[in-house]
Every structure is written in C-alpha cells, then in structure tokens.
Structure 1
Amino acid sequence: MDITRLRHIVAVSDTLSFSRAAEQQNITQPALSRSIAAFEARHGLRLFDRSRGGVTLTPSGSFVVEQARAMIRASDEFSRNVKLYTEGAAGRVAFGLGPLLGSLLLPDLARRLLAHGPELEIITAVKSPDQLLADLFDNKLEMIIGNVWQVSEVHGVALEEIGSLDLVHVVRRDHPLTQLEKVTPEALAAYPVARPVRLTGDQTDAGTFVCDNFHVLREMVEATDCSWITTPSFVHAELASGSLQMIDVEGFSNLKSGICVITLAGRTRSPVSRMVSDLVRMAMDDLGAEETASLDRTGT
C-alpha cells in the first residue's frame, strides 16, 4: 500500500479542499487529484463528492480514511522505531560481564543505557569468563565486556580494547605486611591469598580463598590475613577509611588490566551494541579519573 497516497486521501478528508490539501502535501492540485483518482480506480470506490458547496466524504471514503489513518500511524511508528534502533536507542541487547566489571560498571551503565534509550530491552549476565564465552558462541549474548588476558588466545572472537584498570595489592588494616616498605614475593606468600578465580597451580602453604563475588572478597580481606589484587575503584571507600591498605610488592608495580569488548569474529554488530561500547568507554574514562584521585589521596 502506498502510504503517500493514503496521506493525500487523509489530507483531503481533513481540509475538505483539494487545493488546501495539495498545499499541505507540497504537491500540485492536479497531481493530488490524479493520486486519489488512481486509488479510486484501483479499488472501484468513490471517496469524495465534489459540488459547488465543496467536497464531502462518501461512506466509502469514511471507511477508507479510518483505515488509512491507522496505517499511517503504524507506518510512522515503524519509521520512528527503525530510526531509534539505528541510533541505538531501541531494540534488544544481551551482553555479559565478569564479576568485577559487573560490580564496577553495571549500575552506572544501566543508568546511562536507560537514559539514552528508555525503550531498550537490556539483558545482562554476570558470570565467569568460561561461562560467558560459552553463551557468546551459543548466540545467547551479542558481546562480552571483559579482560583482555582472559580471551586473548580464544579463536573465533574479535576484541575491541576500550580502556584499562589499575590493579593494586591490598590487605587489611594493621596487617603485618603493611609494616614493610617493600614486600617481597616470599613475604607475600607467607599469607593466604584471595582470588576471584582459581589459577593453574594455585596452591600455597598459606592457603587460597576463591570466590567470584567481589563484595564477599572485599569483606573477607578486611577480616582476615588474605592479600588481594583488585582495582582501587572497587575499594576506594575502604582505602579512604583505612580499613584496607595498599602494599608495594616487588615486581608488581604499575599493574593494569586491559578491558575489551568481545564479539564473534565476522559478526555484524547491532547499533545498540555499538552504543553500549561507547557508554562503557565513557564509564571506563570516569573510573580512570576516580582511580587516579583514589591513588592520589592514599599517597601512592
């Protein structure tokens, strides 16, 4: 169905004047008359009666105009939705994050996403890297926001680096290691370690605590002798209050974790996913500024 022709019909119905309708539609009156005549000829209906008193709508015309208005509204809504989708402001996006990035980014990222596109359907998954990759290859996720080192050797994916996070060793207040100006790896190994994932060969005489919930890790490190590698952004309040303290470990200065967007190689991305990448990049920039301020406040 020609939506433009339906607009011509509705314009004549609204104005009851072919000349005013033609002006409204930005076409000549003969062109408007031909457009409506073509519709009438195709469907065997007469839409308007013309007399010296003006233009009147026929019963057939009333029926057609009612249907035309509904189709025009649907067409306008379709065009609007496609435009929003193209701009990344509508549609569905499913993406995953690891536990740390989920805790750091997701609350602020959700706020940014909903502010940008209230009509978005946002589906997120916070899982381990292996689980996220399985979901990506099963097409349950369109993208993952994760650490470069966790996926750098995975085949069949494309990486887009979007930033990095500083990493520091932290321990509880009054931990024996805080008395050392420089902590050797041997001194560090004398105490248990907290990690979000189990590493190959991850066995120490002092013990290891593995938990993928960073909030639990943070509370546990505050209450035990465990050391923990984390980002200052996640523990900025604890560093400011002194309940956690950074330690300087030999060979581990200026640690950084590269953050990237992971997608299936060769797969065309939706506009929404590209918008998510842009917002994550903005959130990463804000985190970087917070980390710098946090490190400055602690004198590191």
Structure 2
Amino acid sequence: MTEAAPMANGTRTQEPTLLGARTPRPRPPEAPRAGTPLGGLLRGLLRTARPKQWVKNLLVVAAPAAAGELFSRAALTRLPLVFALFTACAAAVYLINDARDADADRAHPTKRHRPVAAGQVPVPVAYAVGGALAVLAPAAAAWLASPSVAALLTAYLGMQLAYCVSLKHVLVVDLVIVTTGFLMRAAAGGLALSIPLSRWFLITTGFGALFMVAAKRYSEAVQMAGKGGATRALLTEYTTGYLRFVWQLAAGVAVLGYCLWALEAGGDPHTGLLPWRQLSMVAFILAILRYAVFADRGTAGEPEEVVLRDRALVLIGLVWLAMYGLAVADW
C-alpha cells in the first residue's frame, strides 16, 4: 500500500495500490458556459411549444382554398397572421398544461424528459409565458385581423384550458373538444376573410378531424393493452371496440360529406376539360382508406408522422390537392 500523495492544490489523491486498482477521482464541476441558462431556457420553451404540432394550424387555409380565394391579396396577408396567432394560442395551452402536469410528468417514463418536468423551464416561467401568449394573441387578432377571429381564439383558449384542467378526463367529451379544436382552425381562415362556410365543408372537416382523433386514441389504447401505467387515464375507460366504431363512423361520414359536395347540383361536371370535382372523390377516398390501414394496425398515434412519413399517403394527398385545386378553379 502507498500513502496518499499531495496534489498541487493541497488535496490528496490515492496512488495505485499493489493490485493496480485506482480509486476514482471526482471530476471537478464544469464551468457553466456563457449564455447557457438563457439559451437552454429558450430552447426549452420552443420544445414545449411543440413545433411538430404546428402543421395542424395549416388548416387555416382550408376555407379560403375551398372558396378559391387562397391566392387573393387579402389571403396572402391575413392567413400567415392567423396561422401565427393560432400557433401562439396552442403554445400557450401547451405551456400551461405542462406546468400544471409537471409533477405527474416527472413520474412518467417518457414525459419526464419534457422541458418543464425536467427543470429546463421553471414552472413559474412556463405559466408566465403561457399566460402572456394567451392574452396577447387574441388582443393582436382583434387589432390586426378581425373581432370574429379574436372571439374564436378566445373561445379556443377557454375550451382548451378547460380541457387541460378537467374535461380531458370526461368520456367522449375529450374526443369532441379535440375535434372542435381542428374545426376552429379550419373556420378561422374563413372568418379572417369573411368567407361563408358551407355545410359540406363543416361536415367533411369536422368528421375528418374526428376520424383522426379517434384513430389516435384507438392506437394509444392498442399499444397500452396489457400494460400498466396508461399514458392517459381516460384510455382505461374506453374500449378498443368503441374507439374503432367511432373512427369508422367518422370516416364514413367524412367521405359521404365530401361526395355530396362533389356531386351537388351546383357543380357542373362538364365544366372545363375534365370533371375534377368528381374525380377528386377517388383520391379523397383512397387517402381515407390508406390512413385507415395505420389506424387498424394501431400505429396512428401521431397523425402528423403518419401523414408525412408514408410516401403513398403523401403521393395520394398531392394528387388530391391538384384535383381539388382544379375543381375549385373550375378548370
């Protein structure tokens, strides 16, 4: 054995023993990098705002596109603003929700990595930023867009915050609220441009959203079957059979609503070179059927990933967009 040798700073460290083993030397704490706390906080706030979910807010272009007003001067100036305001409102809800659920998320195997639960974003900061966005977004909408858009955003915030507090634990109501959130996004673009929303637009959009929401819940229920610790307590009250019934019913009504729009008397099938409105039904139905493959497998838990990662679905969607655009333009 050898005795400890002095170090330059006055502490002592253990030299190798006769058996060649070394006692581990404690690593000195790393000096904090300049700007790390602020940079880490900003990155945490951005992650909490769920950038992947922002694609949902593109629904604000749905009503202007359906009315053939997507490339008008008013649309090009107002729709990006409405998209940004809806993104701010959604970020406010995410921040407040994560701050409220921070303690529960810390006990969850995956949610504990969320910035608020992990301590990257302090709970008071999450509440403060979320509250500021919730106040500023409707105020900016009233000033820059229209009072109707401001009222819609206020209603969206109130509904989503009520959902975070208690309504997400109410059977069926949770499906209705999430679906209504999608429908509000689709309606916002129409309100911003004073475009009347047709009954077929509302039926197809609403039930299309319910189809995706129910498919997501069904996938979550399938993946947690036989496992303890559900990621969402309400999933234990749903049965996979019931959720399958809901997404199948919603898919059928969405297809019916779209077909009635395409075949309504107001549309002349002989306008232009081809009846694009009627032909677009084929692509729309194929898209529903393709998405239903993932719903049936129980792998539609993240709709944006299903839509963006499946090449066949992307191709079908692009074909549908082209046909729909030609139909709206009466080519």
- Tell me whether the two structures share a fold, i.e. TM-score over 0.5: no
Query: Which is strand-richer, 1 or 2?
Result: 1
Larger Rg: 1 or 2?
A: 1
Higher normalized helix content (fraction of residues): 2
In which range does the TM-score fall when normalised by the shorter chain? under 0.3
TM-score, L = length of structure 1: 0.25
